[in-house]
Amino acid sequence: MSILSASRKAAGQSPAFVSPIIESGFDPGKMDAVRAQLKTSGIEPYDCLNPGLMDYIATWTAKKSGVLAS
């Protein structure tokens, strides 16, 4: 059993931190679909600020680091 599986079992369903995947090079234009899929799967997407703002910050960070094209 993975650590994530164990913590979900102990604490119910954990929220999914969504915007950081942009920083690894994921297409920011597909974030609404990611959040929708998580909800469909019963996992609540989590953003500490407005999702659009979080995506903007993550996109800026990815471009600054060179992971996404400017």
Give the total number of structural domains in the chain.
Answer: 1
| Residue 63 reports pLDDT greater than 80 | yes
Domain membership of residue 23 (yes or no) is yes
The residue range of the domain holding 56 is 15-65
Domain membership of residue 4 (yes or no) is no
- In this predicted model, what pLDDT tens digit does every residue of 34-45 receive, in sequence order? 999 988 888 888
Tell me the torsion sign for CA atoms 24, 27, 28, 31: negative
Domain membership of residue 5 (yes or no) is no
Domain membership of residue 8 (yes or no) is no
Domain membership of residue 3 (yes or no) is no
Domain membership of residue 26 (yes or no) is yes
What does pTM read for this prediction?
Answer: 0.74
d(CA 9, CA 58) in angstroms, rounded, equals 30
Domain membership of residue 47 (yes or no) is yes
Domain membership of residue 56 (yes or no) is yes
| DSSP symbols for 2-35 | -HHHHHHHHHSSPPEE-GGGGGGT--GGGHHHHH
